[in-house]
Amino acid sequence: MTDIFNFTQDKLDILSKANSALKIDKSNHNRIVFIYSAPKVGSTSLVSSLRIFGIDKLDIIHIHDEMMLNTLANITNISVNEIIQYNKYLGKDVYVINIFRNPIERKISTFFEKIGSYHFNNSDSNVNNYDVNKVINRFNNVFEHIGNGDHFIDTYKINIPNSFDFVNKYLLVEEQGIKYISLRLKDSDCWQNILTNIFGFHIHIIKDYESSDKPIKDLYARFKNNYRVPSNFLIDITNNIYMKYYFSIDEIRDYYNYWSNKSISTFRGYTEQEYHLYQTITIENTHLDIIQIDHYFDEGCRCKACQIKRNQTAMKIIRGDKVTDKIIHINAKSELIEKRVKKATKINHVISKNPVKIRGKDFKILSM
């Protein structure tokens, strides 16, 4: 253990309970990866990819913020950064991964994540039939207030390089023995090589949890076809500190040109005060508490059935086969039981056809 973090005994007790709530204390792995990034940046895909190819080598913890800690594990009075530092304090090999996503696309995805339950106080299936212009107007009203910031720059509280590494397409900063990594979603085709080199075992990246696969997919498609970004929003986006950090001058120009061909005149969205009122009324009116089910392609169970399913899935991914069957415990367990029943039925059928031989030396051969 190391004392560089200066935790008090009371804080250590709380952090120990947090590790227990997150089930980190039950792991046999010394290497732990925190996917600690903003939502709607491609993190669920990364989590599932690491689980499929590395669950036997490392622990993967996916977290967005302290609110998520409280919701999922009833953890309060400590920060995600403190949990990360605590695991380094325990002597673990700790990695923290951030992802930066193109800002307009991230805002759209953030908006659609809770478009029914939050923004329109309705079910996604009903909202799917809404007039797309109504939806676009609502999106533009909240545009400037959603999908902002970057954990690597704003949240980790570390010393960062002056700019992104546009050659290697990732950043790796080690501070207090913790390795902080920042990726761009636009480079996801390179993640396989980047992460394979960092972690030392082969990793394939899968696509996961896309809006085009959800109940609001029809509205989402109409929105993407019809949306034109207000010109003042586009100017602000391409001039903010995050774009200037993660995009080269040429990339900013290309991004601006792409969206300027799909832009309209200026739009006045909600002010900070108006958005605060919007949030207050929205939360008060919300009667649907939508909990995402099967959020991950691989939910991370380590039982035998899930590991068998995971190994089969990994082989399919490596071969380049399309994989749609998620690794979910209840399904994997049912599949394994079904296979065992079929095998037992086949053995019983062989026994019934060859009763004399089965009592002899050929039993194992006939039952294989």
Percent share of the chain, pLDDT over 90: 63
- Residue 216, pLDDT > 80, answer yes
Percent share of the chain, pLDDT over 70: 89
Q: How far apart are CA 290 and CA 281, in angstroms?
A: 18
pLDDT, one tens digit per residue, over 5-14 is 889 999 999 9
Q: How far apart are CA 338 and CA 108, in angstroms?
A: 42
Q: What residue spans of the chain are helical by DSSP H?
A: 9-21, 43-54, 66-73, 80-89, 103-113, 124-127, 132-142, 151-154, 188-199, 217-226, 231-238, 241-246, 249-260, 272-285, 304-319, 329-353, 355-358, 363-367
Averaged pLDDT of the chain: 88
Q: Given the structure tokens 């530092």, which residue do they identify?
A: 85
DSSP secondary structure letters along 11-77? HHHHHHHHHHHTTGGG---SEEEEEE--SSSSHHHHHHHHHHHHTTT-EEEEE--HHHHHHHH---S
pLDDT for res 331: 80
- Residue 293, pLDDT > 50, answer no
pLDDT for res 355: 61
Predicted structure pTM score: 0.85
Contact 226, 132 (CB under 8 A): yes
Q: How far apart are CA 240 and CA 218, in angstroms?
A: 32
Q: Given the structure tokens 């400037």, which residue do they identify?
A: 144
The DSSP symbol for 200 reads S
pLDDT for res 320: 80
Contacts of 81 (CB under 8 A, 6+ apart): 155, 156, 157
List the single range of 105-114, 267-276, 278-287, 296-305 with lowest mean pLDDT.
296-305
Contact 41, 64 (CB under 8 A): no
State residue 185 phi and psi, 5-degree precision. Answer: -60, -30
Residue 215 Cα distances to 115, 146, 211, 223, 335, angstroms: 11, 22, 8, 14, 26
pLDDT, one tens digit per residue, over 138-183 is 999 999 999 999 999 999 999 999 999 999 999 999 999 999 999 9
- Residue 358, pLDDT > 60, answer no
pLDDT for res 368: 41
pLDDT for res 347: 74
Helix axes 103-113, 132-142, angle to 10 degrees: 110
Q: How far apart are CA 157 and CA 154, in angstroms?
A: 7
